[in-house]
């Protein structure tokens, strides 16, 4: 694995997952081209080094040319998925309340691979407001009041504030990498 490949991988992480890496969002998704990265090596290194911050990478699915990767903070994602409003929606799609985090992620992964339609409950795993996930499902992605990091059906002002926070995280982390830090230095991981 070359230094330039590592740098490209870290740039993708910073750009697409900065809010999760910096602790203000429980999870983010990355879609990565298979030809671009030796992903298993990157995941092994990241999961080993970032476990001190409770961060993990997990491949949810792969197709011929791409990987769909979830980056998440274990404790924060566990809390998110334990919320009664979240559990009520997840139960409709075959997620049981007694499932472990790993079992919930395996169920999500299976639904991504097997569903004719992308499983929109994934928004709950990505820390989207439940009213927005429910609104997206009920409206089939139409009739939203704002579109940013997700389609908003509920509180547009709160979502704008959240989007601005996510933008600040992205800018901060990408700037750190552009200044010569690697992702671990930028996140203060030894």
- Per-residue pLDDT reduced to its tens digit, 87-124: 999 999 999 989 999 999 999 999 998 877 789 999 99
Q: What is the CA radius of gyration of the chain?
A: 17
Model confidence, pTM: 0.93
Measure the CA–CA gap between 170 and 58, rounded to whole angstroms.
21
Whole-number percent of the chain with pLDDT over 90: 88
What's residue 114's pLDDT? Answer: 86
Cα distance between residue 141 and residue 128, in whole Å: 14
Digit-coded pLDDT (tens) for 5-60: 899 999 999 999 999 999 999 999 999 999 898 899 999 999 999 999 999 999 99
Instruction: Give the integer Cα–Cα distance in Å for 133 and 128.
Output: 7
Q: Are 157 and 20 in contact (CB under 8 A)?
A: no
């Amino acid at each position: 694995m070359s230094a330039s490949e590592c740098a490209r991988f870290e740039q993708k992480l910073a750009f697409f997952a900065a809010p999760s890496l910096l602790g203000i969002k429980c999870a983010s998704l990355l879609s990565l081209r298979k030809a671009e990265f030796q992903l298993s090596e990157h995941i092994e290194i990241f999961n080993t080094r970032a476990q001190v911050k409770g961060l993990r990478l997990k491949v949810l699915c792969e197709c011929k040319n791409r990987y769909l990767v979830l980056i998440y903070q274990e404790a924060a994602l566990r809390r998110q998925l334990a919320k009664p409003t979240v559990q009520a929606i997840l139960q409709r799609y075959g997620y049981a309340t007694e499932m472990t985090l790993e079992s919930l992620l395996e169920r999500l992964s299976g639904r991504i691979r097997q569903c004719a339609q992308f499983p929109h409950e994934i928004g709950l795993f990505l820390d989207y407001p439940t009213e927005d996930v429910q609104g997206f499902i009920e409206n089939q992605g139409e009739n939203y009041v704002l579109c940013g990091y997700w389609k908003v059906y509920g509180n547009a002002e709160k979502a704008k504030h959240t989007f601005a926070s996510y933008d600040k995280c992205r800018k901060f982390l990408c700037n750190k990498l552009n200044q010569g830090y690697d992702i671990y230095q930028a996140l203060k991981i030894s």
